[in-house]
Amino acid sequence: MLNIKVVGGGCPNCQKLAQLCKEVVAEKGISAEIEKVTDLERFADLGIMMTPGLLLNDKVMSAGRIPTKEALGNWISELEVR
């Protein structure tokens, strides 16, 4: 199962990234756990210095921006193949 962490304090961009992750996972029919990390003290431990942050299977994929739906889909597909 794919583990997705959306890191941020709950701002509109963080919410948009979480929703985008849900859409991509649903469209691809992938089994995934989507976790929202809102504890500021965990951000640096996860490698996120700017929000929103995105980790896929504990690997930082983006920070400080919302990736395009296409890029997110590609990242998720690559991890699913492994």
Q: Catalytic one among 14, 32, 48, 76?
A: 14
Q: Catalytic one among 9, 10, 11, 35?
A: 11
11 with 60: CB under 8 angstroms?
A: no
Tell me if residue 14 is catalytic.
Answer: yes
Tell me if residue 11 is catalytic.
Answer: yes
74 with 62: CB under 8 angstroms?
A: no
Radius of gyration of the chain (CA): 12
Which among 60, 62, 56, 58 has a CA at the least distance from the CA of 76?
Answer: 56
Reading the block at residue 47, the tokens are 């490698």
Q: Which residues participate in catalysis according to the annotation?
A: 11, 14
